Chains A and B, each alone.
Chain A
Amino acid sequence: MQEIKREDLIAKAAQLLADGTVDRVIGWKKGEFDYDVTPAVFTSKEELENEFVWNDFCGANFSKYLRKEAEKTESKAAVFLKPCDTYSFNQLLTEHKFDREKVYAVGVPCNGMLDDSKIKAAANGISSVSEENGKVAVETLYDGKITLERNEMLAERCVNCKSKKHVAYDELLGEDGEVLDSARFDEVAKIEAMSADERFAFWQNELSRCIRCNACRNICPACTCEKCVFDNPDSGVENKAIADSFEEKMFHIIRAFHVVGRCTDCGECSRVCPQNIPLHLLNRKFIKDINGFYGDYQAGAEAGSRAPIVDFTKEDLEPGEAVERGGENA
């Protein structure tokens, strides 16, 4: 497969700006360190050449920025989308969350993104991170050069990548991949195998770390409410604090319920959590159940598709049956 490099993305972005297809490009901007990458809007070739970055740390999903940009002006914005990002893109289209006419989507292949926290755990004082013969080479302040296995440094969602195939784009750089047969439900199965008490203890332990920073909600492509119930002082559930030990579970469980059938399993919630709570497992449990109850369904695979949860068919499982089968699926 032909490898797509930073220069290719810059050239594409510069060309789209130059020929007037778009007047701005949503991309990744380099920061202080190699792993320090921030979503940004670029408007000129100079900016792109100086600050645009495409590396193993361009994990951020652009959904929130894409919606913001699409609302700003009548002109088009270009956006780079990794395969997993295209699922969010389609899902937002399904929900009419942005005007497709205002976005020019450029698909970019992805070899899996790295998790900087895994690298930091393995290396003290990182001066630089680069790829060297398929491995991750880290220059450190204290231990010289360290070489790490790329597979071991991958972000969780990339370890369990569900698809290398772009499901939406105007233009694709490089070749498209395939939908993968991932092991992403294995972790869910492990939790399902626990006794109810063990499972409760598991989530109690994980969710008790929550600091209510709302990062998971604010990055989530599926969290599209104009006004979140948890931001509404009149809702009676608005809370920045853990008023009691049940409070934080309520927030995460309500959020998980609210994105059922719409969550594409992009994994951003877990990526951004400052407390390393595996929030994606809640969403995956729902996806697994939907698959089990209604047949395989991947949110975002197809724009305009109706999630089984909001689409009645006569073949649908009766609620009672779902409860009964809960034993095997739950």
Chain B
Amino acid sequence: MRKISLDKLNQLFAEIASKNSLYIPVDTAAGAKYEKYDGTQTMSDALNTTRSAKDFFFPQTENLVDFKVEGKNIEIKEPVNEYEDFVIFGARACDVKSFEILDRVFLADPVDNFYKNRREHGVVVSMACTKPAETCFCGTFGIDAAAPAGDIVCHKTADAVYFDAKTDKGAKLLESLNALTEDTDSAAVDAQTAQTREVLKKLPLAGLDASAFGADKTMEFFNRPEWQTISESCLGCGTCTFVCPTCQCYDIKDFNTGNEVKRYRCWDSCMYSDFTKMAHGNIRNSQVERFRQRFMHKLVYYPTNNEGIFGCVGCGRCMAKCPVNMNIVKVMRKLGGNK
């Protein structure tokens, strides 16, 4: 394990940024946000970023291919995407877990090369939580906020940041910073971890239990009458899906620049009325059906297809951002029978 005193942290950022693009959470008018480090920013102390970290691997819009159309002929121009090596600094345990959930979708056969390339070029430096918010419930999904996954795991104390490399990629990066860091034992980190775990136990949502849901329970939950009442307040906007670190649905669209056609993909939301609309009809005509789809996907469909792993990491972003405060916790309470 290595450590650096807090006052030297910006030196470490500068060192990383001299070789790779470095992204750190920075405070802005819209809450914390990952920004490319340019030597001027300070790392945010916010618990989490407003938008999740999925943008790094699955950006909101992404050019897939260009077409040049002339008369009856089409020319396909594959975009030359330069994938930079980059480092994400300060991702929380929930967001790091979300990468695994996205991996199971995008890296499953057939592999999504756009995602895979970004994933291969990124090094994830996670940051253990010490003051989780009342909206946090990562523990419900077996995530330990005090000990996140990641290529390098960091713990920040009052005066230092501790680093522990967990993968070869992480070890390589950490080694390159040896001139700035010093060797240390894990005493401070262990103490912090123990303390945080005590805090986690006392969170208001600590007892939230997902075990009623899971793989192969589609028929048990699909026709439950409660969907009608709990979906009633849903406005059908896409806020929850867009701030969600695990929502991965996308649309593929064409944009005619006048010169060529750009085919791009962009985030889509199962909450939107046109999500399943076809020329001859729509299988999810009402918001009840769309609402049900989102939560069934997280709590039942995804686990069914992924060895019981839930499609939610308990980051609490949907709780904080839903315009009408309807969220997965309320769905779990209502349908999963836990108070």
Residues of A within 8 A of B (CB): 31-33, 36-41, 60, 64-65, 120, 124-127, 141-142, 209, 211-215, 217-219, 231, 233, 238-243, 268, 271-272, 274-277
Contacts and interface: CB of A to CB of B under 8 A. Distances in A.
17 contacts: A31-B325, A32-B204, A32-B319, A33-B134, A120-B133, A124-B131, A141-B202, A211-B60, A213-B242, A214-B237, A219-B235, A233-B274, A233-B277, A241-B60, A241-B264, A243-B255, A272-B239
B238 A213 contact: yes
Nearest to B265: A241
A274 B255 contact: no
B16 interface: no
Given A218-B235, A219-B235, A240 B131 contact: no
B266 A33 contact: no
Contact of B239 (A40, A64, A213): A213
Nearest to B257: A244
B268 A240 contact: yes
Contacts of B50: 274-275
B235 to A, nearest CB: 4
B315 interface: no
Query: SS class of chain A's interface: helix, strand, loop or mixed?
Result: loop
A215 B132 contact: no
A37 B323 contact: no
A168 to B, nearest CB: 23
Majority DSSP secondary structure for residues of B touching A = loop
B305 interface: no
Contacts of A240: 238, 251, 253, 266-269, 272
B134 A31 contact: no
Contacts, number: 127
B74 interface: no
Contacts of A213: 237-239, 241-242, 269
A17 B49 CA distance: 45
Interface residues of B, number: 51
B121 interface: no
A231 B267 contact: no
A81 B264 CA distance: 44
Given A141-B134, A213-B237, 15 more contacts: A31-B330, A32-B134, A38-B330, A39-B324, A124-B47, A124-B133, A211-B243, A214-B237, A231-B273, A233-B274, A233-B277, A240-B251, A243-B255, A274-B243, A276-B31
B329 interface: yes
Contacts of A36: 319, 325
Question: Which 8 pairs of residues, A with B, have the shortest CB-CB distance?
Answer: A241-B266, A272-B323, A215-B237, A218-B235, A218-B237, A274-B321, A213-B238, A213-B239
Contacts of A64: 235
Nearest to A268: B323
A38 B325 contact: yes
B233 A65 contact: yes
B283 interface: no
Contact of B133 (A125, A219, A274): A125
A125 B132 CA distance: 7
Contacts of B205: 32
